Amino acid sequence: MRIFDPHIHMTSRTTDDYVAMYAAGVRAVVEPAFWLGQPRTSPASFFDYFDGLLGWEPFRAAQHGIAHHCTLALNPKEANDPRCTPVLDELPRYLVKDSVVAVGEIGYDSMTPAEDHALAAQLQLAADHGLPALVHTPHRDKLAGLHRTLDVVRESHLPPDRVLLDHLNETTVEAATDSGCWLGFSLYPDTKMDEDRMVAIVKEHGTDRILVNSAADWGRSDPLKTRKAADALLAAGFSADDVDLVMWRNPAAFYGLSGRLDLTAPAAPPLLHEGNSILRGGE
């Protein structure tokens, strides 16, 4: 079984997670830029973070046979902080990088005017750079947040079939399906969706344009949720081809819209990145 996790924050995960993910069938990941928990205080901290997503993290993933790409953006939460908004002016120089396969995560956290501006501006950046967009739907008041998101998408120059609406659930899946956007579902141990609820959604809505991710980060989360969802789909009677569509071909098709997706991990990964290795001890 091959698995592509289209939304996971490997910067917050350990090397053991990479080992376990590979053993579970994960061969590709996309890591969206997001809030780190500790608020950033200047644009410079974003740029160091972006550089890590473009350099160190792909290097680390390659050591374990996993292809790594990223999406870059000013995230919705920090779009409310005036100290961070100059990032919007600097994003274009990052969006031309080969391993950037979308603009994201963008969208809403608290649905403020500042978030309205950041979402609209970054949808335009995606259109300008020929990239799709990964949109974070809010964790609170989800349906109202989804409708507000779709209003901004419709007003943008980015077609809905180049937009992935993430963190969907039972309350938002119907409206998201009708929008023509791609549909993302994040599976967590305690919150968001779980694999049984995911199976029920696929039974009702089918496999078209559906992506399943772990969104694993520094909180309580599980980087193997994609494999658990795949196993649950098989146990529920879905075919191996259905599972491959949801867990591999759909994310490959969406991020392939960037024209930059390369799902082959290097056969002989480099031993060093800018003079550094992940080895500890030994010769």
Q: What is the pLDDT of residues 211-265, one digit of tens each?
A: 999 999 988 999 999 999 999 999 999 999 999 999 999 999 999 999 999 998 7
| Both tokens assigned to 223 | 């980087």
Task: List CB contacts of 77: < 8 A, sequence separation 6 or more.
Answer: 35, 109, 110
**The pLDDT of residue 121:** 98
Q: How far apart are CA 113 and CA 76, in angstroms?
A: 11
- 191 pLDDT band (50/70/90 cuts)? confident
Task: List the single range of 63-77, 160-174, 186-200 with lowest mean pLDDT.
Answer: 186-200
Q: How far apart are CA 184 and CA 139, in angstroms?
A: 14
**The pLDDT of residue 192:** 73
Q: What is the pLDDT of residues 97-132, one digit of tens each?
A: 999 999 999 999 999 999 999 999 999 999 999 999
Contact 20, 43 (CB under 8 A): no
Instruction: Please determine, for residue 283, whether its predicted confidence score (pLDDT) is greater than 60.
Output: no
**The pLDDT of residue 272:** 73
- 140 pLDDT band (50/70/90 cuts)? confident
**The pLDDT of residue 280:** 63
- With a pLDDT cut of 70, the percent of the chain lying above it is 98
**The pLDDT of residue 37:** 86
107: left (phi over 0), alpha (psi -120 to 50) or beta: left
| Number of other CB atoms surrounding residue 154 within 10 Å | 10
Q: What is the pLDDT of residues 6-27, one digit of tens each?
A: 999 999 999 999 999 999 999 9
- Kindly report the pTM of this predicted structure: 0.95
Instruction: Please determine, for residue 2, whether its predicted confidence score (pLDDT) is greater than 60.
Output: yes
